[in-house]
Amino acid sequence: MMVDPDSKALKPFEFKNIHQQLPMLHLIEADITFKEMLPLIDSSDTNPDFWIRLARMVGENYDLYDGFVILHGTDTMAYTASALSFLLDNLSKPVILTGAQLPLGVIRTDGRRNILNAIAIAAEYVDNRPVIQEVCIYFQNNLYRGNRTYKDNASRFNAFYSPNYPIIAEVNTTAEFHTNLLHYEEPGAPFRYYTHMDSHVALIKIYPGISIEFMRNVFNTPGLRAVVMETFGVGNAPTTPEFTRILQEAVAKGIVIVNVTQCKGGGGVQMGRYEAGKNLADIGITSGRDMTTEAAITKLMFLLGQYDNPEEVRQQMETSLRGEMTMD
């Protein structure tokens, strides 16, 4: 991002002056090509069409490059990283997203270090193969699995957090990779990318006193196919007959409802632990385990783009496709 000299508002960064902004690029032992996905947009305007365009750009250039670094606004970076993790299948190369909390045009920017380190990590090889072979986010010295993160802070340089999966690499004076935490596909599995998502997904955050009429209106949204429901604690929600009836009716209509916790600090859904959670399981609500909301939403959009049958979507939501949730 750069500063607009007229309005002082931030606008998308243009690459034509990249070497002026990052003169140390020449120190990285890699041939680097920069591509812009036009028109440039603010990250607040990302959507499934944007994610598909990104996946297509990676897919169409997959055989030409050893890795990919995507510069992206921080606000929706975790959504994009999660979406790409599902759209890009059988990766054997790194796809690393990074960005900055402060624009490149200011002295204290974190952007220069983030971009340089992300490129250096993408260029890391051991035994003639990339060390990283998944979609990641690099930020403030840490490399995260992309579909395990969310933006945790709007003012600090350490903007991202991975509550249920450890940091997979740390950069200090050297880069230390935690190889036991890295995700690798089956050797020889052919890479492919997908170009269909379905955004007929809603998000409901349960809160004390939530309106039954509001719930009913959400589930009656035309074309709705799935709902991510953020519940209390380990997956608990109201047990009143009215609340239960609305969920039962939605499931009977074929709407896939995925239960994720609104507790951001860690842990996951365990619907059998309390009666309030067991009630949801009995209705036919799908457990999102320890998935982030960002991963659950984008995974649903991805699966709805591939399957018409709600039961197939439910089964895939309960399966870890790209290391997005813990199966133990």
Give tens-digit pLDDT for 201-259: 999 999 999 999 999 999 999 999 999 999 999 999 999 999 999 999 999 999 999 99
Phi first, then psi, for residue 265 (nearest 5°) are -75, -10
Q: How far apart are CA 271 and CA 162, in angstroms?
A: 22
Which residue type is seen at 186?
E
Beta-carbon contacts of 76 under 8 Å, excluding residues fewer than 6 positions away, are 43, 44, 46
Residue 105, SS3?
coil
Per cent of the chain over pLDDT 90 is 76
Residue among 86, 37, 93, 91 at smallest CA distance from 65 = 93
Give the start-to-end residue ranges of the domains of the chain.
2-193, 201-317
Q: State the average pLDDT over residues 69-91.
A: 97
What are the residue ranges of helices labelled H in the chain? Answer: 18-21, 48-60, 77-87, 111-122, 212-219, 241-252, 275-283, 293-306, 310-317
- Residues pairing with 160 in the sheet: 151
* pLDDT for the residue 22: 74
How is 9-21 classified by DSSP, letter by letter? Answer: -EE---GGGHHHH
Question: For position 9, what pLDDT does the model report?
Answer: 57
Q: Is the pLDDT of residue 100 over 60?
A: yes
pLDDT above 90 for 72: yes
Higher-pLDDT residue of 234 and 11 is 234
Q: What is the pLDDT of residue 11?
A: 57
pLDDT > 90? residue 25? no
pLDDT, residue 17, reads 60
Residue 272 pLDDT grade (very low, low, confident, very high; cuts 50, 70, 90): confident
Q: With 50 as the cut, is the pLDDT of residue 1 above it?
A: no
- How does pLDDT run across 130-169, given as a tens digit for each residue? 999 999 999 999 999 999 999 999 989 999 999 999 999 9
For position 8, what pLDDT does the model report? 55
Tell which residue, 189, 33, 22, 178, has the closest CA to residue 110: 22
Q: Identify the bridge partners of residue 202 per DSSP, sorted by sequence position.
A: 227
**pLDDT category of residue 39 using cuts at 50, 70 and 90:** confident
Third-level CATH fold of 201-317: Rossmann fold (3.40.50)
Q: Do domains 2-193 and 201-317 have the same CATH topology?
A: yes
Model confidence at 3, in pLDDT bands (50, 70, 90)? very low
Residues 6+ apart with CB under 8 A from 254: 225, 310
Q: Of 23 and 65, which is predicted with more confidence?
A: 65
Domain 2-193 has CATH 3.40.50.1170: yes
